Amino acid sequence: MGVVSFINDSKRILKLATKPSRKELWGSAKISVLAMFLVGILSFIIQVIMTVVTSEWGVNA
């Protein structure tokens, strides 16, 4: 695959590509925000569990 072939393939893809509609863009944004929220909640829960578990480790030392 040469450079000329790559450029021709890239041009063909760019001709077929279209901008997303407002509805598609809004849907993607909502899904992204929801995913970030869920990952944040999950990491917070893990942090709380680990804090509770490890807080007992140094008591009897």
Listed in sequence order, the residues at least 6 apart from 28 whose beta carbon sits closer than 8 Å to its beta carbon are: 20
The token pair at 51 is 């804090």
Is residue 61, in this structure, part of any structural domain at all?
no
Provide the H-helix boundaries in 1-21. Answer: 3-16
Is residue 30, in this structure, part of any structural domain at all?
yes
Domain count, the chain: 1
Q: Mean pLDDT for each consecutive 10-residue tract of the chain (61 residues)?
A: 89 90 96 98 96 80 52
pLDDT of residue 7: 93
Name the pTM for this structure: 0.61
22, burial (CB in 10 Å: exposed 0-12, middle 13-18, buried 19+): exposed
Note down the domain range covering 30.
Answer: 20-56
pLDDT of residue 59: 66
